[in-house]
Amino acid sequence: MRQLSIAVAQFEPKDGDKEYNLTVIEELTRKAKESGADIISFHEMSITAYTHCKNLTRTELETLAENVPGKSTDKLISISEQYDIPVLAGLVEIDEGKIYNTYICVDESGVIARYRKIHPFISQYMSAGSEYIVFNLKNWKCGILICYDNNVIENVRATSLMGAEIIFAPHVTMCTPSPMPGRGYVADEFWQNRYSNPDQLRKEFDGPKGREWLMRWLPARAYDNGVFYVFTNPIGYDGEHLKNGNSMIIDPYGEVLTEIKSFENTIQLATVTEDKLTLAGGYRYKKARKPALYKDILGEENQSVTKPTWMENN
């Protein structure tokens, strides 16, 4: 039976400081390998940081962006080769004049997969990706959906129907305002007092501003589609937004296999096993589909609008 030990990571990035962020990525990759992981996954735009991009001019964003492969990709490949473990991480990509929120998977041989976020909104200068991907990694079929892409259920179903058994879901999310009751920013004082009063901060992070919101929908994506979900998210500040981490791995039953509850830069591992793929309800539900009933409905034209509440004044 196929098994795979996956490490999820979380860390506090520095805005635009690729050298620093790659240093943390290397250290956590080393830790993952020493802990027995087969692969490691980092959060959305983990090489560049994310939220600060909303304030950048096009020229500034182009300066931050790079080709794939490029200098940061080469560094990831070097890290992967040194520790003999595939690495997944995110950056700002530029290609033929277009800028993308991109997530890549590399090993010692080079780039295995590249995915461009389909629903970018952090910068008006970013272009949307236009395709799903499924790729082979350690004899597992894997897909990637970045942050908001996972909120649109059709994206997850499509990736699953293409054969994905594991979906990597790098995020920078939670602890921002929303029409949903209880959502909002977490006060800085809770973060500054995280060691003297950790319970207070954990209550904020795990409440409706953070984990409670996530658990309303993320386990359902895994359950409905019969896939493993690898969710990553920064801890601490990304730009001026405080993030709660809670990086986790969810199985096809919708159960959390592992979750990071630390306030530090760290990793956590879980082993996924192929038996759950066909035992889970999602496997049966996909086989029971009747596309003839709804293919025209699902295929109707729609003007896609992607802008969260907290971005409305930006």
pLDDT digits (tens, 9 = 90+) for 132-166: 999 999 999 999 999 999 999 999 999 999 999 99
Instruction: Assign 94 to helix, strand or coil.
Output: strand
Q: Cβ distance 247 to 232 under 8 Å?
A: yes
pLDDT range class, residue 275, cuts 50, 70, 90: very high
Predicted confidence at residue 286, as pLDDT, reads 95
Q: Which domain holds residue 80?
A: 3-311
Total domains, the chain = 1
Rg (CA), the chain: 19
Q: Cβ distance 163 to 137 under 8 Å?
A: no
pLDDT at 48 > cutoff 70: yes
Return the beta strands (E) in 174-314 as ranges: 228-232, 235-238, 241-244, 248-250, 256-259, 266-273
Average pLDDT of span 36-47: 98
**Tens digit of each residue's pLDDT (9 = 90 or more) over 69-108:** 999 999 999 999 999 999 999 999 999 999 999 999 999 9
Predicted confidence at residue 314, as pLDDT, reads 59
Q: Cβ distance 41 to 260 under 8 Å?
A: no
Cβ count within 10 A of residue 40: 30
Give the domain CATH number at 142: 3.60.110.10
Q: How do beta strands 98-107 and 110-116 pair?
A: antiparallel
Q: Which residue has the higher pLDDT, 314 or 266?
A: 266
Q: Cβ distance 89 to 76 under 8 Å?
A: yes
* Structure token pair of residue 217: 């929908």
Average pLDDT of span 249-271: 98
* Structure token pair of residue 162: 């293409």
| pTM score | 0.97
Q: Is 256 exposed, middle or buried (0-12, 13-18, 19+ CB in 10 A)?
A: middle
Please tell me the distance from the alpha carbon of residue 238 to that of residue 133, in angstroms, as a whole number.
Answer: 27
